[in-house]
Amino acid sequence: MARVGAVCLTKPVTSNERKGALRELFDRQCRPHADAQQASEAREPLTGLRILFAEDNPVIEKLVLELLESRGHIARSVSDGRQAVAGVTCERFDAVLMDIQMPELDGIEATRCIRELEKYGGGHIPIIALTAHAMKADQERCFAAGMDAYIAKLITVDRLFRIIDEQVRSHRSVPETDSAPLNLP
């Protein structure tokens, strides 16, 4: 294996692999200022986000809403998955925090419904699982349903805000209408 800077190549090296590695090295050298600016922006917390929180436990609902509002976010809560689906079709949200176990429609099915509606209405809203289900299989179910991130309860406040910020930033960079309400057919 030959090592060129921060790029690893496995012998035998083809011409295309060598060109690709050199291109990657040159790209890295040409963009240090852009990377530094992005890193600086990533460290500043986002405020004023519109967040929908789907949670059926009133104690957790109150705690998370207070946390979100203390950060300067505009938070709205619903108590089941049907209300979450209706919420994103009627209002603009930057992100959804979704519990998994809820009455009427659980968080997995609500996420599937939202993703299906997005196929017709466009956009992509980040959906973050916020759940007591902490097993690897639970996390995989969340991602398979179309959730963008997964946070197991008990959470730290820093981790909650870091994941919300990461998800909103990553989906804002995609040229979609991810913050508009879904347009139903």
DSSP 3-state percent helix, strand, coil across the chain (nearest 5): 50, 15, 35
Question: What is the per-residue pLDDT for 4?
Answer: 41
Question: What is the per-residue pLDDT for 177?
Answer: 42
Asked, for residue 23, whether it belongs to a domain, the answer is yes
Strands 2-4 and 7-9: antiparallel
Q: Tell me which residue of 93, 167, 162, 85 sits closest to 126, measured CA to CA.
A: 167
Which CATH number is 56's domain given? 3.40.50.2300
Pair (36, 88) in one structural domain: no
Q: Tell me which residue of 168, 123, 73 sits closest to 114, measured CA to CA.
A: 123
Asked, for residue 134, whether it belongs to a domain, the answer is yes
Question: What is the per-residue pLDDT for 3?
Answer: 45
Asked, for residue 179, whether it belongs to a domain, the answer is no
Pair (65, 147) in one structural domain: yes
Give the total residue count for the chain.
185
Asked, for residue 83, whether it belongs to a domain, the answer is yes
Domains identified in the chain, total number: 2
Q: Tell me which residue of 149, 165, 170, 156 sits closest to 107, measured CA to CA.
A: 149
Pair (22, 90) in one structural domain: no
The residue segments making up the domain with residue 147 are 50-172
Pair (81, 96) in one structural domain: yes
Mean pLDDT by 10 residues, the chain (185 residues): 54 69 58 52 79 94 92 95 95 94 92 93 91 84 94 84 92 53 53
Query: CA-to-CA distance for 161 and 148, rounded, in angstroms?
Result: 15
Question: What is the per-residue pLDDT for 104?
Answer: 87
Question: What is the per-residue pLDDT for 45?
Answer: 83
Pair (33, 81) in one structural domain: no
